[in-house]
Structure 1
Amino acid sequence: MLLITAVALGILLNPLNTTMISVALSRLQEDFRLTFADVSWLISTYYLASAIGQPLMGKWSDLFGRKKVFMIGLLLVTVSSCLAPLAPSFGWLIGFRIIQAVGSSALFPSGMAIIRSQISANQAKALGVVSIFSSTSAAFGPSIGGFLLHYGDWPLIFLCNFPFIIGSFLLAWKMFPKDPKSSGSASDMDWPGVGLFSATIFMWLLFFLSIADGASLWMLAVSAALTYALYRYEFGHSKPFINVAFLKNNKNVSLIYVQFILTNMAFYSIMFGIPSYLQRVQLMDAQKAGLVMLSIAGFSVVVTPLVSRWIDRSGSRPSLLFGTIAVVAGSLLMLLIRDQAGVTTIFLVLCVLGIANGFNNLGMQTALYDYVKKAETGIASGLFMTSRFIGTILSSSLLAALFGKNITTPHLHSMAWVCAGLGVLMFALTVRMPKADASKATQ
């Protein structure tokens, strides 16, 4: 249990710092005299660095040792958390946040690989504990950030990382098994592949962000060209950074990544869209809107232990079928929300979506590991989290396209229909999911 806690305390740093900063944007605008468009790069660059860092650090953990990479990740988060409050300019603050993103990105793939290698029985329960830490930190991030801002200022958002860093470091130092002697070296890394992957992710990010003002065709063309170049280069490489041959030959893993992108696109559209709707249309204050949004986080946390036991008995597929149906049901229930709707109605609708998130989040993680060998856990976990960030970026584009400069109940209903459609696609992908090969998960 202490080993799981060590991993969980480290893993929560990325989602916690992703969402805590959202409540501090207005203060940062005042301190650095920025427009909202300027300050939004603090979020975009964090997503970008995380999307690139997850598979990169996953590969490093496979090559050089999982405990070593986990500890280095904690060190990078420590350095960034110390320096960010002292940032002399906004550019420096972005730089420190990028270091924080890279450091926290090392913790998920290396930590999950350690859990998988050390815990063979009831892995779903172990993943359930980690999932609770991760989902809770992301959901409660804005509330924690608001509390810190109320009693201090934005530097506290970085300083509050230290209890988690210290706890994770001490437990990991004691509980993690010693890494076997590494035979890997920096030359084993596919650096051209890393560069191509980074450029591809960056261009797709720019394209998605351009959708709000009208999609840029040249960005789309460049993004597609880079994607094709990455595929061709990595397919012919003996030690590729992104093993496209493996993805091509194992379509189950590829489709799990696609499904996870859709899952996060729907979830984060709701998580980011509903609070603004509650404040601008339902005229709730920030505190009340935050309390209503806790229904998603609360029910997601409550059902996760139940889901883990179900998965241990029946596998990932039944829980995903239930979770995707809940996405469709919860999205359609949003159509019941009208102008000046009762708080109880909104709360109950969001509870259904919280239950859906609990089922889908853990179900997707365990489904991935059903089709991935233990030796491939690091890079597979990194790409899994990259899929999450891609889904988050797509959710921002969706909200920009649907809400534009004005948020109304009809716009909310449009979002509900889109999320219901995403749920139907997720259900279809789950239905076609074949029975896992139990022997692969033990290799």
Structure 2
Amino acid sequence: MSLRDTVTRHRADRRSDHPDGFDRRLIVPMVLGSILNPVNSSMIAVGLIPIGIALGAPPSETAWLVSALYLATAVGQPVVGRLIDLYGPRRLFLIGSALVGLGGVLGLLAPSVGVLVVARVLIGLGTCAGYPSAMYLIRSEAERTGRQSPAGILTVLAVSAQTVSVIGPTVGGFLIGLAGWRAIFAVNVPLAAVCLTLGAIRLPKHRPEDPSDAPRARLVSSIDLAGIALFVATLVSLLLFLLRPQASDWWLLVITAAAAVGFVLRERRAATPFVDLAVLTGNVPLLLTYARSLLGACVSYALLYGYTQWLEEGRGLSASTAGLVLLPIFAGAIAVSTLTGRNPRIRNKLLVGSVTQALVAAALLLLGPHTAVWALLALALFAGIPQGLVNLANQNAVYFQADPERIGSSAGLLRTFFYLGAISASVASGRFFAGGADSAGLHDLAWFMLVAAGLFVVITVVDRSLARVVPRDRS
């Protein structure tokens, strides 16, 4: 089922209620579905040390609580996004919400780190549907209303995700202080319940009796199962190596290379490929946006995980206090996103965001175990600037650069590259903090962030296509 078919199916019955503008009944489930991943990504940052203490697990084991979610999400996002392109968002949204709730229950009852990792995988897979569903619905509403650039809705989506990402450690610290570390898993149960309820009530229903529907056999045959399997094999083997890179695991790279070659050959021959490589490789601006997403995530998640651990161990703050110190990032990000959200100049946002990321990384080199709290708060406020610019700009860029009929999978691939950056940041934090999250390790991490931010700046400066990504109509 193509995006155009879905728009045609729902155009008549929804136009009478929403003749001119975006169907605002969709906004709440869209936002809630999209924040499930960032809330779980960020809250765990202040939970790693309490979990390790409670379960007697070293940092090398608790690190898998971060990596497992990103591994599941990086693989699952484009797969679920492609299924949304074919079937529409409702079924995938409901299935994903149910998985998140199941992962929350499992985490609440988990007796060991291994079971917690399984819970995080379930949560990661469940959160894969939220963002591609939202982008699909935004595109379908734009088609229905005839307005190409729903900048206000895109801003709401980006700001909500950014807000949750930033306040997640604060909320996580509060929940841990109130009810222990299991609370950061238990919170998924009510969130999933709300998503299931709103998704069932408000998201467009698939109607098999509609004559415009393709036969089920045709829809099933349009799913490139072989391509998906080879994509998953490529990404999983690569990520497993990156999570613990060592010479003895060379065979993982052999699997990566073999699966990647098979994937390329398969996608070039498939009638309906999972990833249309001909279109993707010919879309250089979209590829550059994916690269910027990876590099930006390297910096922002190195700050989220590495800096947070240093605040607790290197600076000696409690989990709840560390969360409060990070809170100004929330204020800065919200202010910047609100002020710039409707500005269509994506290139300017990326330039300012990338340069500011570099300055934040440089500032980390000046921190030590006795740095004043006011300085930590000032740094957090300054770090809110790129937090409020980068993700919003990349999201808007994909919206206008991607093939409309593949908006779900294109949005999923954006998140895949984003989580590759997050995983890289997690690996870097583990390496630099191998002996503890002290100031020397923080400074090494800061140099890693500077390199990533510098590459981000260079890619943005040379990409002249960004100047042409300007919407003609905004809602």
Under a length normalisation based on structure 1, what TM-score does the superposition of the two structures give? 0.89
Query: Is 1:360 matched up with 2:390?
Result: yes
More displaced, 53-62 or 330-339?
A: 330-339
Query: 1:26 Cα shift?
Result: 5.1
Deviation for aligned residue 1:127:
1.6
Indicate yes or no: 2:138 matched with 1:115: yes
Give the CA deviation at 1:65.
1.5
Is the aligned partner of 1:9 residue 2:64? no
Tell me what 2:76 maps to.
53
Are residues 397 and 26 of structure 1, via their aligned partners in 2, closer, same or farther at CA, if it must alter by over 3 Å? closer
Counting matched residue pairs gives 438
Please, which moves more after superposition, 148-157 or 9-18? 148-157
Q: Structure 2: which 5+ runs fail to align?
A: 1-23
- 324 and 31 in structure 1: CA distance in 2 versus 1, 3 angstrom threshold: closer
Q: Which amino acid is 1:64 matched to?
A: Y
Q: 1:180 to 1:111 in 2, by over 3 A?
A: farther
The reply to whether residue 144 of structure 1 matches residue 165 of structure 2 is no
1:334 aligns to what?
Answer: 364
- For residue 378 of structure 1, report the CA deviation from its aligned partner: 0.4
AA aligned to 2:295 is L
1:3-402 correspondence runs (5 A): 3-25=26-48, 28-29=51-52, 34-87=57-110, 91-119=114-142, 120=147, 123-179=150-206, 182-183=213-214, 185-211=219-245, 216-311=249-344, 315-402=345-432
- Contact kept, 8 Å, 1:261 with 1:390, in 2: the verdict is yes
Contact in 2 for aligned 1:61/1:69 (Cα 8 Å):
yes
**What is the Cα deviation at residue 31 of structure 1?**
6.4
CA distance in 2, matches of 1:338, 1:286: 18
Of 118-127 and 348-357, more deviation after overlay is shown by: 118-127
Q: In structure 2, how many angstroms separate the alpha carbons of the residues matched to 1:339 and 1:27?
A: 21
Cα distance, 1:91 vs structure 2:
4.9
Residues 48, 202 of structure 1: 8 Å contact kept: yes
Contact in 2 for aligned 1:207/1:215 (Cα 8 Å):
no
- Residues 350 and 393 in structure 2, CA contact (< 8 A), matched pair in contact too: yes
Contact 2:149 2:471 in 1 (8 A): no
Q: 1:404 to 1:87 in 2, by over 3 A?
A: closer
Deviates more, 1:45-54 or 1:419-428: 419-428
**Alignment check: 8 A CA contact 1:70 1:107 kept:** yes
Residue in 2 that maps onto 1:422: 452
Conserved? CA contact 1:369–1:377, under 8 Å? yes
Q: Secondary structure at the match of 1:189?
A: coil
Structure 1: segments with no counterpart, 5+ residues: none
Question: Cα distance, 1:441 vs. partner?
Answer: 11
- What SS does the aligned partner of 2:343 have? helix
Provide the rounded CA distance (Å) in 2 between the counterparts of 1:124 and 1:322: 19
Q: Equivalents in 1 of 2:428, 2:109: separation in Å?
A: 35
Q: Is the 8 A contact 1:339 1:409 kept in 2?
A: yes
Give deviations 1:288-344, integer Å, cap 9, x for gaps.
Answer: 322222222331122111121223xxx311111111121122222333334522222
Question: What is the CA-CA distance between 1:115 and the residue it aligns to?
Answer: 1.8
Q: Whole-Å Cα distance in 2 between the matches of residues 333 and 23 of structure 1?
A: 22
Aligned-pair identity in percent equals 30
Measure the CA separation in 1 of the matches of 2:324 and 2:114.
34
- Distance in structure 1 (CA, Å) of the matches to 2:424 and 2:405: 31
| Residue aligned with 1:185, SS | helix
Per-residue deviation, 1:90 = 5.4
Q: Alpha carbons of 1:389 and 1:440: their partners in 2 closer, same or farther (altered >3 Å)?
A: farther
Provide the alpha-carbon RMSD of the alignment.
Answer: 2.9
Deviates more, 1:61-70 or 1:374-383: 61-70
Displacement of 1:7: 0.5
TM-score (normalised: structure 2): 0.83
Which amino acid is the alignment partner of residue 123 of structure 1?
P
| CA offset digits 1:117-136 (Å, max 9, x no partner) | 21436522212211222122
Q: Which moved more, 1:387-396 or 1:215-224?
A: 215-224
1:150–1:282 distance in 2 versus 1, CA, 3 Å: closer
- Distance in 2, matches of 1:215 and 1:397, equals 17
Q: 1:77: how far off?
A: 2.3
Equivalent in 439, 442, 447 of residue 409 of structure 1 = 439
Quote how far apart the aligned CAs of 1:260 are.
0.5
Aligned partner letter, 1:68: R
Contact 1:9 1:165 in 2 (8 A): no
Change (3 A) 1:406 1:26: closer
